[in-house]
């Protein structure tokens, strides 16, 4: 009722209806359709709805065991790519946090006025460029003849170019940079609302700087940190363009396998099963972060 009195009945009804339509038709129904599709066989159109169109766990079994005729008995290739994607996304999340937390704290508690606005502008402006173009720019920077290798050779730090692409250094750097703002702003908003007198009180009591951050700032900013970590992890695990552009010849992202099932292999049920497994992994990560930081979903959404 407070929401209705504040916005009026017509605006409130419009907002509720618009959000409901968006959530139901753009999120819930497509996901349910994907889940239903993942339990189906890959049949020709003339056999869909016929006696052969039954529910099966075959698509999920393939992810774990591969084809029944395979001698390996386990689909190590796809399982390895799946776990590598999850672990790499966690590493990207931690890297983004290490980059963003000091800057967010500086902007929220140290910098003031024009300096804060200038830093925000410097952070936002590069993201006016398309994500794919930024990924290609990173590929040029980390290439064998790129600026970074040229600088390292010119300074005498190495005799030959370093293959940053094969070592996945470019991939991690590109993913961390692509979702930098999604980690930055939740932490900045949380730290900005912290009363600076609490930090000064801790300093007056003789607390070292690491003690202040670990026991004063970070506990207060837990909702912002949790929100940033969940968004960066989910977007990193579901990224497609950046891994394709910055990944080395031996690297493979799980979303690339999903893409191949849909558009190269033409097996939509198999691709749906792989996509649903990735979705479950992302949900479990969100629940783990909520439990680790002891925050609720409402605090993260705030």
Question: Is the pLDDT at 20 greater than 60, yes or no?
Answer: yes
Question: Is the pLDDT at 71 greater than 60, yes or no?
Answer: no
Spatial distance between the Cα atoms of 65 and 60, rounded to a whole number of angstroms? 9
Confidence (pLDDT) at 68: 67
Tokens 């931690």 sit on residue: 94
Please say whether the dihedral angle defined by the alpha carbons of residues 257, 262, 267 and 273, taken in this order, is positive or negative.
Answer: positive
Query: What would the mean pLDDT of 172-181 be, rounded to a whole number?
Result: 91
Confidence (pLDDT) at 46: 81
| pLDDT-based confidence at residue 88 (cuts at 50, 70, 90) | very high
Spatial distance between the Cα atoms of 33 and 28, rounded to a whole number of angstroms? 9
Tokens 């900005």 sit on residue: 192
Spatial distance between the Cα atoms of 180 and 175, rounded to a whole number of angstroms? 8
Closest listed residue to residue 140, CA positions, set 167, 172, 176, 174: 174
Query: What would the mean pLDDT of 241-267 be, rounded to a whole number?
Result: 87
Spatial distance between the Cα atoms of 91 and 233, rounded to a whole number of angstroms? 9
Looking at per-residue pLDDT, the higher value among 296 and 204 belongs to: 204
Question: In the Cβ-directed half-sphere of 76, how many Cα atoms lie within 13 Å?
Answer: 4
Confidence (pLDDT) at 184: 92
Rg of the chain over all Cα atoms, to the nearest angstrom? 24
Query: What would the mean pLDDT of 25-54 be, rounded to a whole number?
Result: 86
Residue 297 C-alpha from the chain's centroid? 17
Spatial distance between the Cα atoms of 260 and 274, rounded to a whole number of angstroms? 11
Please state whether 66 falls in left (phi above 0), alpha (psi between -120 and 50) or beta. Answer: left
Confidence (pLDDT) at 166: 85
The structure tokens listed for 234 are 């989910």
Question: Is the pLDDT at 300 greater than 60, yes or no?
Answer: yes
| pLDDT-based confidence at residue 66 (cuts at 50, 70, 90) | confident
Maximum CA extent, the chain:
77
Query: What would the mean pLDDT of 121-140 be, rounded to a whole number?
Result: 88
Question: Is the pLDDT at 87 greater than 90, yes or no?
Answer: yes
CB 171 within 8 A of CB 242: yes
Tens of pLDDT along 138-159? 999 998 888 899 998 888 888 8
Confidence (pLDDT) at 205: 87
Tens of pLDDT along 219-251? 999 999 999 999 999 999 999 889 999 887 677
Question: In this structure, what DSSP letter does residue 206 have?
Answer: T
Spatial distance between the Cα atoms of 4 and 203, rounded to a whole number of angstroms? 46
Q: Which domains does the chain have, with CATH numbers?
A: 76-301 (1.10.3720.10)
Please say whether the dihedral angle defined by the alpha carbons of residues 240, 243, 249 and 255, taken in this order, is positive or negative.
Answer: negative
Tens of pLDDT along 282-298? 999 988 888 888 887 76
Query: What would the mean pLDDT of 98-123 be, rounded to a whole number?
Result: 88
Q: What percent of the chain has pLDDT over 70?
A: 96
Confidence (pLDDT) at 99: 92
CB 140 within 8 A of CB 146: yes
Confidence (pLDDT) at 273: 94
């Amino acid at each position: 009722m407070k929401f209705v009195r504040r916005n009026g009945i017509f605006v409130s009804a419009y907002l509720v209806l618009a959000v409901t339509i968006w959530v139901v038709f753009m999120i819930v129904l497509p996901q349910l359709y994907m889940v239903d599709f993942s339990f189906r066989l890959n049949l020709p159109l003339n056999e869909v709805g016929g006696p052969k169109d039954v529910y099966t766990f075959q698509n999920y079994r393939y992810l774990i065991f591969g084809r029944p005729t395979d001698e390996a008995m386990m689909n190590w290739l796809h399982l390895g790519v799946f776990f590598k994607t999850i672990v790499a996304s966690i590493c990207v999340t931690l890297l983004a946090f290490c980059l963003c937390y000091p800057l967010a704290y500086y902007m929220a508690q140290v910098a003031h006025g024009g300096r804060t606005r200038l830093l925000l502008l410097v952070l936002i402006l590069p993201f006016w460029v398309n994500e794919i173009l930024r990924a290609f720019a990173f590929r040029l920077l980390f290439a064998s003849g790129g600026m970074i290798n040229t600088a390292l050779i010119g300074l005498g730090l190495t005799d030959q170019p370093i293959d940053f692409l094969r070592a996945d250094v470019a991939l991690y750097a590109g993913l961390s940079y692509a979702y930098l703002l999604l980690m930055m702003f939740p932490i900045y908003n949380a730290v900005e609302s912290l009363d600076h007198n609490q930090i000064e009180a801790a300093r007056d009591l003789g607390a070292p700087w690491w003690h202040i951050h670990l026991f004063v700032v970070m506990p207060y900013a837990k909702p912002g940190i949790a929100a940033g970590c969940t968004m960066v992890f989910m977007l990193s695990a579901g990224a497609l363009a950046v891994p394709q552009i910055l990944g080395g010849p031996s690297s493979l992202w799980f979303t690339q396998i999903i893409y191949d099932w849909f558009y190269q292999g033409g097996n939509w049920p198999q691709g749906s099963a792989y996509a649903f497994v990735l979705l479950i992994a992302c949900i479990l990560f969100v629940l783990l972060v909520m439990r680790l930081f002891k925050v609720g979903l409402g605090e993260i959404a705030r």
